[in-house]
Structure 1
């Protein structure tokens, strides 16, 4: 049965459009999926104990990267900035995902989750940024302060799901934005295409706009191969992974979240764990994978090193070599082998 989010007593401030299999006229939802839990469950989690202590500051084992301007031919290079912010360099394009250079992933500069690791690429060391993918509007993925800086210095083409364009355009009226629904495709110069695909998540910027902007995964099809990028997702019985493989075939690379998954009773529908990420890699027929969304800001209960440790265990259980699924740390660079 389809479950839609509660609380629809006011208009949608971000998007107006036709009803679909994932939009009920007011809110977006996960078809045959689970809506996020409500206030009572949030309080049960927040006051239930069990949160591991994170250090206030951690140096990355890798120095800050200084990427080359471009990667051409069959090359594919991924550099970890931190959390869900990745620099993907492929087919002559520089693509940033969910860029956050701010100190906090919060509506406030003085409170909220604070990064414990410095960005793996200094903002001023970025190569020319062509494309920015914004997967959804949670503050650890859509950071308006960073997007303003990118607009000032790079004027990138921003690609984002329905409704998020409204949030961005209010802050950056001059931004070039392509807004996409699930199942739509965007063609770029040089034979690169971006497909907007489902993932199992939700959205909100405040207390009264839950699920009023869409969330999505992206498939980037390039002359150097296909990349499957997911910013956040619950596993959802692997349904979306299977669908991506059936539609797009094998991927050279999948960027998959592996953190922010405890406690499972609360996080299961919105954040997969490392075991599920490995299953997702296999179901999507990805040859290589990058693990992200961990060890940068504390959003949930697990320890800072738990996702990487759990990924090691899951890889061994499924017979995946360590070099095929890498949990990247800030500043780490992955030269993805050719298929």
Structure 2
């Protein structure tokens, strides 16, 4: 029976743990993704807002510096969950997507409504790529092929995603880890792989066969938390981040793709929850991502930014401490 269970997972084989049952990964004390009948109920519900076919960013495409050294921390929004983090002389990309669609099909599926905030040819030398999980809006194989050819970065990703990447991008340098692992990435710098509340799938027959994660980047210029994609989960993982890491100079948190709540709440937090998450993990500053580029859910295109501003006001927090970044926007994050 155990052998049959291991064989049923096409991406990963390993011993059971508190988040792996021998076949599938799961969220401890959490909720699995909705059933197919729930998906149909949502898709046929008729409450989807109409996004514009094009919504150009108010910011021009950025031309990043080659490196940011010393105490600086510069963040540049590419779009959705793709950001360039420049800190302690390192250039790090999160969930890079330069493709026009996030879909298994080149002719259908969610399409960009604004171009990437950095032209691919204008990227500085990329040292490290963080891939949080295998959904198409986070793991884009076409972009990874381009990065391999031009930059040959190290790709750090949670368990099972290496099988997907290695098959499509032969020779890509991969570092594959479980929750709780620490990875040294350079002088006085490390990345921690941390739990978030989400799920994974590339199709209909591989649900939860690869792990999902967030990342903590620890450097001499401070700590950065990239949550990837996550539900709020009663704030459990944010409290854990504060306990493990003390606090952060910057947290990069998803603020979009949250409606309808009856279906999305376990897996996608809303802006109000993101503000609570910033407070719970002791982040001095936060950047909102996962909004405004690909329509994945029901809310209007500009609602996440508006709701974020309302949530900050409700908490008595300054607007500049948590910014809903748009493609091409560059933020020199203040020191703590």
TM-score for the superposition, normalised by structure 1: 0.97
Q: How far 1:10 moved relative to its partner?
A: 6.7
Please name the residue that 1:42 is paired with. Answer: 39
- Give every structure 1 segment of 4 or more consecutive aligned residues whose post-TM-superposition deviation is greater than 6 Å: none
Residue 158 of structure 1: SS of its match in structure 2?
strand
Q: CA RMSD in A?
A: 0.9
Superposition map of 1:150-299 within 5 A: 150-299=147-296
Superposition map of 1:313-324 within 5 A: 313-324=310-321
- Match of residue 25, structure 2, among 15, 23, 28: 28
Looking at structure 2, the residues matched to 190 and 122 of structure 1 have their Cα atoms a distance apart, in angstroms, of: 29
Residue 315 of structure 1: SS of its match in structure 2?
helix
Looking at structure 2, the residues matched to 67 and 256 of structure 1 have their Cα atoms a distance apart, in angstroms, of: 22
Please name the residue that 2:91 is paired with. Answer: 94
Mark the CA change 1:172 to 1:9 in structure 2 (over 3 Å): closer, same or farther. closer
Tell me, which stretches of 5 or more residues in structure 2 are unaligned? none
- Match of residue 57, structure 1, among 33, 54, 59: 54
Q: How far 1:319 moved relative to its partner?
A: 1.4
Please name the residue that 1:135 is paired with. Answer: 132
Looking at structure 2, the residues matched to 32 and 338 of structure 1 have their Cα atoms a distance apart, in angstroms, of: 36
Looking at structure 2, the residues matched to 153 and 166 of structure 1 have their Cα atoms a distance apart, in angstroms, of: 22
Q: How far 1:211 moved relative to its partner?
A: 0.4
Looking at structure 1, the residues matched to 231 and 209 of structure 2 have their Cα atoms a distance apart, in angstroms, of: 18
Q: How far 1:9 moved relative to its partner?
A: 11
Looking at structure 1, the residues matched to 272 and 335 of structure 2 have their Cα atoms a distance apart, in angstroms, of: 25
- Match of residue 144, structure 2, among 134, 144, 147: 147
Q: How far 1:299 moved relative to its partner?
A: 0.1
Looking at structure 2, the residues matched to 333 and 319 of structure 1 have their Cα atoms a distance apart, in angstroms, of: 25
Residue 238 of structure 1: SS of its match in structure 2?
helix
Matched residues, number = 332
Contact 2:133 2:200 in 1 (8 A): yes
Looking at structure 1, the residues matched to 136 and 288 of structure 2 have their Cα atoms a distance apart, in angstroms, of: 20
Contact 2:6 2:22 in 1 (8 A): no
Q: How far 1:320 moved relative to its partner?
A: 1.5
Tell me, which stretches of 5 or more residues in structure 1 are unaligned? 1-7
Looking at structure 1, the residues matched to 161 and 180 of structure 2 have their Cα atoms a distance apart, in angstroms, of: 17
